[in-house]
Amino acid sequence: MEELNRKQTQGSLVYQGLSFTDYHRLFKLNGELFRGVPSIRYQFCRDLFNKGIMRELITKKLFVETEITSLKFDPYKIVLKHRTIPFVSYPQEWCDLMLKDAALHQLDFCIELDRHKLLCEDAHPLNILFDGCQPVFVDFGSMSPIPDDCTHWEWFNYEQFSRAFIYPLRLMAQGYGRIAHWLLHDYEHSVLKSDFEALTRRSLPGLNLARKLASRFKYSARLHTPEKIRNILEKFFFTRKPQLPDSFNILQARCDFLKQIRQEVENIKLPSTQPKIIKRSDGLLLPELTSEKGTSSHRIVSTVLSDLRPGSVLDIGRGSHQIDTPLLAARYQSKVVAVNPDETNARNLYVVAKKNKLPIIPLQINFFSPSYDLSNYWFKPASERLRCDLVIALDLVEHLIKENLRFDLIAERLSVLSKRWLLVDFTPDNDWESPETRALQNSGYTIDSLIDELIKRFRSVNKISSQSEHPVLLLCEK
């Protein structure tokens, strides 16, 4: 066994994210992701692998690829190695379709665990990451055996699951998507049932069988018994827990309960604003309104991607580039994160990426809003988890200029998100039509002003397109 002590790992071992809340500590060592398993969970962990349960979960793409290593790291008796998911994203950044897919994945994971007499102790969406458009469960510490003497047939974490998935999805289905996304920032509570009922002015029925049995008994008693006897029976019934019949199959009931919740999630109808998909001559399934690939900007982006071959691309462009640029980057084998503040645009790209099975994660984020901080003390900051080799920001600068953002802020944020390159464009003033935007040019909003700020943060800034009546493309390198 290879043993690691604290002196050997000093400076190279970094604990990850919210792992401090878990006894199964997650850490990176030499760029790879590991998890320490405490001694109290040693045999359970061994059984998961020896009985082939982990192999099944991984084969069915329910859990991230994981293996037992030969490492020993005090105080952990077992050290696991996880495949690193390229990008960490959070539930408040997912579009509604992503949140629904994550909810269904959580339930599929729980149903599979139940088959092996295991349960998932945690229903928080932070335990799920998106690998491209594929949700995957990543929290090993959430799995536990179901006690032999367990009499619970319902899912222990149904209430947490409802707050994290069902209530937000129902709010989104009724047009309260912006509120639902903001409530998902609340790590501890997410969307409470009272939040949903206050916003929609309707109550949600529970799924507790005992309460259903009680309600049926109460209704039957009212119909068929005298008032005095009925009052005695109701008082007795509601002060004692209803007993299930001896023939009640707890294992089957638990599985049925999970399937019932899954059907409930499946039936949630989200806004029907998905794009009409057509099949292009090259085989790609794309939205009907996707721009033609013959535009000058498209050809330049294609050339840049072909020359640089970046391993990862962050696209934060606007306008017509919001779908075709991420698709183009993915076709050059780059892992792609595409962010947009509009949920409809994020949803449209998710539909397209999922249909084409492309390594693209669309996220609903506005990096340039004061309400979104690139750094965060508790969670892994966006400036780390979403940084890419190449940042593509087309049609963005003009949009931000019209919102009165300064060039230094724009350049700083783009630089923080870029590991090496930035491709950005600037629309000449003769393309600006309104008096307001023309007035900005007189205030110093020129291509030279943008270059001055970029050169402070990048080693080189080169014009690769400078036609007077078209956007000027700048390729920057650190």
Quote the pTM value. Answer: 0.81
pLDDT above 80 for 237:
no
Q: Do 72 and 79 meet the contact criterion of CB atoms below 8 Å apart?
A: yes
Rounded to an integer, the average pLDDT of 243-255 is 61
User: Which residue do the tokens 């900051």 mark?
Assistant: 381
The per-residue DSSP string of 353-419 comes to: HHHHT-SEEEEE--TTSTTS-S--SSSPPHHHHT-EEEEEE-SHHHHHHHTT--HHHHHHHHHHHEE
In whole angstroms, how far apart are CA 291 and each of 154, 200, 319, 356? Answer: 50, 39, 10, 17
pLDDT value, residue 371 = 66
| Proportion of the chain above pLDDT 90, given as a percent | 43
Q: Do 30 and 8 meet the contact criterion of CB atoms below 8 Å apart?
A: no
Rounded to an integer, the average pLDDT of 236-250 is 46
CB atoms closer than 10 angstroms to residue 343: 20
pLDDT value, residue 439 = 54
Which sequence spans correspond to the domains of the chain? Answer: 2-82, 91-200, 277-477
pLDDT above 50 for 196:
yes
Q: Does the domain made of 91-200 have the CATH classification 2.40.128?
A: no
| Single-letter amino acid, residue 152 | H
pLDDT band of residue 216 (cuts 50, 70, 90) is very low
pLDDT above 50 for 121:
yes
Highest mean pLDDT among 60-69, 196-205, 353-362, 464-473: 60-69
Rounded to an integer, the average pLDDT of 280-294 is 58
CATH code for the domain defined by 277-477: 3.40.50.150
